[in-house]
Amino acid sequence: MICGIILIGSMSSMAQIQEEQVETEKTYDLQSCIEYAIQNNPNLKSIKLQELGNQYKIEEIKSGLYPTVSGSGQYIYNYALAEQLLPGEILGQPGTTVPVKFGVSNMITGKIEAQQIIYNKALKTGIKAASASQDLLALQTFQTTEDLVYSLAQSYLQINLTEKQKGILNANLTRINKLLEIANIQFEEGLTKKLDLTQLQVNKTNLMTEMKSLEIGVNQQKNYIKFLMGLTPDAVLNLEPLDLGVESYPLVNDIILEQNTTLQLLNKQVELTQYEEENIVSGYYPTLAIFGNLGWQGQTASLFSTKDEYAIQGSMTGVLGLNLSVPIFDGFQKKNQLEQLRIKQSQHQLDKTYLKNSIALEYANANEKLTQNKGLLQMQETNVALAEDLYSVAKLSYQEGIAPLTELLNAETSLKESQTQYLTALLNLKLAELEHLKVSGQLAKIIREAGSN
């Protein structure tokens, strides 16, 4: 279909498009709108930032594989040293106890500590789960992109068909104005009733009112496209008409199930629950780490004295060791966590079955809608041709004075209605083709293939 052809071109250059400001004198086609929206839609940009933030989350988890090193220092001033009572015999004073202060007034320490994980199964599982979560976010970004492309193409089609409907109304207004000129002359000559002249004027007013309603609708649709593109409502946006006569893009005859983004998201969630199960099981495994520290401690009774007896007396300290943690009993906590997770996994399998059935239903309905709208469009094409012939005959008969004005007005109304119904059928067909493109997975495939180029 027309949208499929345009989307292939628009997505193929997506990766090279840079942010830009809308040029008020530039006319944007569907490709340009899609490219601009992908770069500037606030919702899509926010989801991309979430994906970027998760990359740093993964790096944060990976940091557990690296050694941790920390340093510390401390200064202590003992302004009141504690006293201990010692037997006087030690100091040559038998039969007494002598209070003695231990320690010095000033103490300085410095220490570097390091630790390295040797074995931690939960950490390794967490890294794998974090990587899978990045894939999940990437799928969510893609799904948002796919929905954005679909919504833009849908609105662009509606605007183009509305513009064509305005063209039909303009043509009808031109015909009405010519008929008014003829009717005014005939009224002055007494060949036309005042009622017929009034009826023409009423029809003209109705057409002008309908035209105004279409203009309001186009403006609202344009505002929605601006919203999708990340523009303000007061931005000027000129859109290029679509050539709706282009041969339809060949649609697939079956569902490309592996391209369905919603199903891919669910599959990724199933994968994440498997990692979650592995993480719970890893809680039964021991963890092993090596640690060590190196320190220095200095003491003096007078910190700033230059006397030798108050020189800082220091010594080095250091330890190396292994830290082993073995889980023994957790009150069946992990067992119950696993049972909950297995129920969740069963739900995911049921969700997959339901989703596949839902996709099949949507595809069947899209096929049915496509077939019905093709038939309706062919009927309306024939109907427009008949209405044009009828109008030509009625106009000629009226000009020759054979038929009354009411017959011509009825023919003109029938022509306008048949043309409107034709455009409605054409819009419904193009929207049905676009829906088929998405439901079948073909749209996702086009976007992925274009993004990989």
CA distance 300 to 107: 7
Question: For 265-277, b where at least 16 C-beta lie within 10 A, e where not — what string?
Answer: bbbbbebbbebbb
The answer to whether residues 78 and 107 touch, using CB atoms and an 8 Å cutoff, is yes
pLDDT at residue 452, as a whole number: 66
The answer to whether residues 211 and 169 touch, using CB atoms and an 8 Å cutoff, is yes
CATH number attached to the domain at 2-70+120-285+330-452: 1.20.1600.10
Successive 10-residue mean pLDDT values, the chain, 453 residues: 46 42 67 91 93 91 92 89 81 81 86 94 90 92 94 93 90 87 80 80 90 92 94 89 68 89 93 92 93 90 72 86 93 93 94 95 94 93 93 85 82 89 91 92 88 66
What are the beta bridge partners of residue 319? 293
pLDDT at residue 246, as a whole number: 56
Residue 106 sits at φ, ψ, to 5 deg, of -120, 135
CA distance 239 to 231: 14
Please give the C-alpha separations between residue 443 and each of 34, 133, 263, 432, 447, in angstroms, as whole numbers: 14, 24, 15, 13, 6
pLDDT at residue 248, as a whole number: 57
Which residue shows structure tokens 């990359």?
A: 55
CA distance 127 to 57: 10
Of 25, 41, 45, 1, nearest to 154 by C-alpha is 1
CA distance 405 to 399: 9
The answer to whether residues 201 and 180 touch, using CB atoms and an 8 Å cutoff, is yes
How crowded is residue 246: how many other Cβ atoms within 10 Å of its Cβ? Answer: 12
pLDDT at residue 19, as a whole number: 40
pLDDT at residue 402, as a whole number: 81
Q: Count Cα neighbours of 130 within 13 Å in the Cβ-side half-sphere.
A: 18
The answer to whether residues 202 and 196 touch, using CB atoms and an 8 Å cutoff, is no
CA distance 361 to 383: 33
Given the DSSP bridges, would you call strands 238-239 and 106-119 parallel, antiparallel or unpaired? unpaired
The answer to whether residues 117 and 64 touch, using CB atoms and an 8 Å cutoff, is yes
- The alpha carbons of the chain give a radius of gyration, in whole angstroms, of 41
Q: Count Cα neighbours of 344 within 13 Å in the Cβ-side half-sphere.
A: 15
pLDDT at residue 309, as a whole number: 67
Beta-strand runs (E) in 95-223: 97-101, 106-119
What are the beta bridge partners of residue 162? none
CA distance 61 to 127: 6
123 is written with which tokens?
């950490």
| Cα 297 → chain centroid | 58
| Cα 407 → chain centroid | 56
Boundaries of every domain in the chain: 2-70+120-285+330-452
